[in-house]
Amino acid sequence: LLSCKFTGDCYLLLVIVVIVLLLIILFLYYKRAGSFYRCLHCFCLPLPYI
């Protein structure tokens, strides 16, 4: 994967791997935090109120 040039297929594979890793990290983070809504509140907190 590291020696692969960025052709269409290799780029798509890299994107899929990154998305899967992000989903696993988010799942573990939510599971560790205990509450999905509490994490969602933390993510929404920096956003300005409309």
Asked whether the beta carbons of 30 and 39 are under 8 A apart, the reply is yes
Interval 1-50: pLDDT, tens:
556 566 667 788 888 999 999 998 888 776 766 555 555 656 555 544 43
pLDDT at 35: 56
Using DSSP, state whether 5 is helix, strand or coil: coil
Question: Which single residue is written with the structure tokens 């990290």?
Answer: 25
Please give the pLDDT value at position 50. Answer: 39
- Per-residue model confidence (pLDDT) at position 21: 93
pLDDT at res. 18: 92
